Chain A
Amino acid sequence: MGIEEGKEGGVPVKGQIASGPLLAVSKLTKLFGSFTACNAIDLHIEPGEIHALLGENGAGKSTLVKMLFGVLAPSAGEIIWQGENVRINSPGDARKLGIGMVFQHFSLFEALTVAENIALSMDRNVSLTRVAEEASRLSHVYGLPLDPNAHVADLSVGERQRIEIVRALLQNPQLIILDEPTSVLTPQEADRLFETLRKLKSEGRSVLYISHRLEEVQRLCDRATVLRHGKVTGACDPRAETPASLARMMVGSDVAVVTAEGTNTRGDVQLEARHLSVAARTPFAVSLKDVCLKVRSGEVLAIAGVAGNGQGELFDALSGEYTVADDNAVQIRQRPVGTKNINARRLIGAGFVPEERHGHAAVSTLSLSDNLVLARHRSDRRAFLGGGLLKIIRQGAVKAATKRISEAMDVRKSGEDPPAGSLSGGNLQKFIVGRELDRQPAVLVVNQPTWGVDAGAASRIRQALVDLARAGSAVLVISQDLDEIFEVATEIAVISEGRLSDPYPARELSREKIGLLMGGIHGEAGAAHAH
């Protein structure tokens, strides 16, 4: 069975009776080598409560829940389930106890159908037709519409999450763990998720809700446990706290507020897309349909949208990673560049920050200075390369620029010039954004600037984008994070299924309106699937 019971040693939580917490965790610790991901965590979850686990990226939230779900083995500490000391050796053990899990990076199989994905997590040998029937019954009860025979590869992120939730519900769990569930949803989809969670709660089930979004934790959760650097830094009733006090518990200090007061002076159009259409490169990609946009100097145009609606394709077309057939479809500083490559666009004063830090914006195994040269060896050739045709790298100049960027963006690193992979996500992202800002580009295109970045680094990066526009550059930000969009944007447009909406001044746009635009021009997508 793999579940060991140790009643003598168990039930150590003080003052606890048999009808005590559903789950109690005591001094739970996880070491990866010399790194302590979780340090003596205490946590208890009552029956029928929605419990928030708050913390920044890297605070140890995911490690903690992986231990609760049997994916990782704890280095020390106890897990007490319904008063009994248990050892959870595998996800199968966790499911037998009554713990269900919805992963952040979905544990779905793209090549399989919805029903097949669900069947995989069931321990009993149930026929696929039975699984499909049961899944559609549950999905109706909880308002999570699903087509059992669709291939996961063809589904939106929101639909994928529904599969995960239905899959967890099929086990009839007492505790459901959700890891950052709203990071991929539109506001409307998130509201629907919250309804489902409240229904689960009303049935007496408990929910462990992992998030770094304070607003939704305050709306949804009964209690909260806050983690920082692998330690519990607070346990509270989130509704009795303010966002600022919760943020302080999470970050350990006050987070700088991005300031964007005053009016920017608008100048000429610096970046323009004219009826930009791009066919999908792969069967699972999105095609861009007649995208028109203009960014003037002094403006920050933010493009909102749910992941996988053409953001990556738009970035590729604007940056020149994939050129387009029509030279006039993309214009940078009023010069047609549609058929020009990325270096040609950089040479006329544009800068680009792609979405993935590792492997796309930076080579993890190379040092920061090497990464700097890789990005700018053409656009800043005179500064970094010497020896005429020999193109010898001028190490001194490169090192100096690395130092300048690190200081300007407050990049915290071990040593002078460490490998990019050794930096935390937030610090590497600050360096990558700083690498472009250092050139003072007239046009900057950024895709998901603060994805998976801690709050401190995120506010630093956002401030830098706002300041760049203030100084007279045209900035285009593609983001899924509405908080971020409202912090930086002067204009907002929404991308949905490869179509871009008209831009709206940021001050005139509400979250609800953005949510509707995200659902697509032809009505609200999630609701359309529901019927």
Chain B
Amino acid sequence: MGIIEAILLSVITAATPLVLAAAGELVAERSGVLNLGVEGMMIMGAVSAFAATQITGSPYVGILAGVAAGLLFALFFGFLTLTLVANQVATGLALTLLGLGVSGMLGESFLGMQGIKLQPIAIPLLSEVPFLGPLLFRQDAIFYLSIAIVAGIHWFLFRSRAGLKLRAVGDSHASAHALGVDVIRIRYLAVLFGGACAGLAGAQLSLVYTPQWVENMSAGRGWIALALVVFASWRPWRVVAGGYLFGAVSISQLHAQAFGIGIPSQFLSSLPYVATIVVLILISHNRRMTLINTPASLGKPFVPER
């Protein structure tokens, strides 16, 4: 395996959790709910996945545990913001702080343990294709899942009736309610989906990226995912573009630092952020399309008048 392939493989591994978490948050935001707790749900996914894998010996049980943890946190968020109509921003921030704290507590006994890595699955025939085969078709289940989820979200949002209802709720919850759409139910489902994706992203961190448990190992990726959603103007494939670009620039700047190029490391470390923002702004320069794609009732609480 050449150096190029090795770099590209590490780019994919770095980008997958961002894409997953951002895709889930995209669905929640398309329904009009701003969940700033992505980081918290992600780290809970990471610690749960690691713990379940250690206890059962199966990383697949770990994946399920990670998703379950994300779901549980999202359910809590949904109960507070949708049923009790708490402020979404404050609740989301609290969810992140809670997740970071609880995961540290739960993960204490797993610190320093040797992790079990999720093994790649080679897809017959396709994995034999030179260059692309080992890169794209000899990957782990979470990578395949991440691409399937984005494709599924795209189909769901723009081709299915349920997705149309979800976009309608995000555009104007009052109008949707007047048409008889169950706003709260749709938002619950969207928030839960977002939580499951964030949990899965966390599982990828502790089972694939660095198969071990370290406190705060999500390292701000939840926040990057949140930013990706906005800069991708709430469109699924742009989230993939943004996620991979971010992954690519982060990995290359690491290599650049290792080579010792005479550029201050602080500048190089900031490159992924700058590059991602610039590129996503450039591709979303069409303001009319951006406005059409922005959920107009994002972050606004809904209380049906009865």
Contacts and interface: CB of A to CB of B under 8 A. Distances in A.
Contact of A120 (B168, B288, B296, B306): B168
Interface stretch (A70-78, A463-471, A486-494, A505-513): A70-78
Interface in A80-138: 90-92, 95, 103, 106-112, 116, 119-121, 125
Contacts of A112: 164, 167-168, 171
Contacts of B179: 91, 107, 120-121
Given A72-B305, A108-B175, A92 B161 contact: no
B291 A283 contact: yes
Nearest to B293: A111
A481 B76 CA distance: 50
Interface of A is mostly: loop
Contacts of A111: 167, 171, 291-296
B181 interface: yes
Interface string B118-140: 00000000000000000000000
Contacts of A120: 164-165, 168, 176, 179, 181
B100 to A, nearest CB: 35
Contacts of A190: none
A110 B168 contact: no
B161 A125 contact: yes
Nearest to B169: A109
B287 interface: yes
Contacts of A153: 291-292
B117 interface: no
Contacts of A90: 180
A239 interface: no
Contacts of B216: none
B292 A151 contact: yes
A428 B296 CA distance: 29
B306 A119 contact: no
A109 B172 contact: yes
B166 to A, nearest CB: 11
Nearest to A151: B292
B306 A109 contact: no
Contacts of B154: none
B300 interface: no
A131 to B, nearest CB: 10
Interface in A42-92: 69-73, 90-92
Nearest to B164: A116
B178 interface: yes
A151 B296 CA distance: 15
Nearest to B172: A109
A284 interface: yes
Interface string A265-283: 0000000000000000011
B306 A110 contact: no
Q: For this complex, into which size category does the number of interface residues on chain A fall?
A: 20 to 34
Contacts of B294: 111
Given A73-B306, A125-B161, A284 B180 contact: no
A69 B294 CA distance: 30
B153 to A, nearest CB: 17
Contact of B178 (A91, A151, A283): A91
A103 B171 contact: no
Contacts, number: 68
- Most A-side CB within 10 Å, residue of B165, B178, B294: B178
Given A107-B175, A109-B175, A111-B171, A70 B164 contact: no
Interface centre among B174, B177, B180 (most CB of A within 10 A): B180
Nearest to A284: B291
Q: Which of B179, B181, B292 has the most CB of A within 10 A?
A: B179
A109 B292 CA distance: 10
B293 A107 contact: no
Interface string B171-200: 110111111110000000000000000000
A71 B164 contact: no
B298 to A, nearest CB: 12
A71 B161 contact: no
A110 B178 contact: no
Given A151-B292, A283-B287, A284-B291, A119 B164 contact: yes
Contacts of B161: 119, 125
Interface in B196-228: none
Contacts of A121: 179-180
Nearest to A126: B161
A116 to B, nearest CB: 6
A71 B177 contact: yes
B178 A71 contact: yes
B288 A283 contact: yes
A72 B306 contact: yes
A127 to B, nearest CB: 9
B280 to A, nearest CB: 19
Contacts of B171: 109-112
Contacts of A282: 287, 291
Contacts of A110: 171-172, 292, 296
A116 B165 CA distance: 9
B31 to A, nearest CB: 13
A42 B296 CA distance: 39
A32 to B, nearest CB: 8
A125 B163 CA distance: 12
Interface in B255-306: 287-288, 291-296, 305-306
Contacts of B287: 282-283
Interface in A279-313: 282-284
Nearest to B234: A111
A113 to B, nearest CB: 10
A103 B178 contact: yes
B230 to A, nearest CB: 16
A91 B177 CA distance: 9
A284 B290 CA distance: 12
Contacts of A92: 180
Contacts of B167: 109, 111-112
B228 to A, nearest CB: 20
A125 B162 CA distance: 10
A109 B181 CA distance: 13
A103 B178 CA distance: 9
Interface string B144-165: 0000000000000000010011
B178 to A, nearest CB: 4
A167 B171 CA distance: 18
A282 B178 CA distance: 28
A107 B174 contact: yes
Given A71-B177, A109-B176, A153-B292, 11 more contacts: A71-B178, A110-B172, A110-B292, A110-B296, A111-B167, A111-B171, A112-B167, A116-B164, A120-B164, A120-B179, A121-B179
Interface of B: 161, 164-165, 167-168, 171-172, 174-181, 287-288, 291-296, 305-306
Closest 6 CB pairs of A and B: A91-B180, A107-B175, A283-B288, A92-B180, A109-B171, A107-B178
13 contacts: A69-B178, A109-B167, A109-B168, A110-B171, A110-B172, A111-B292, A111-B294, A112-B167, A119-B161, A120-B165, A153-B291, A283-B291, A284-B291
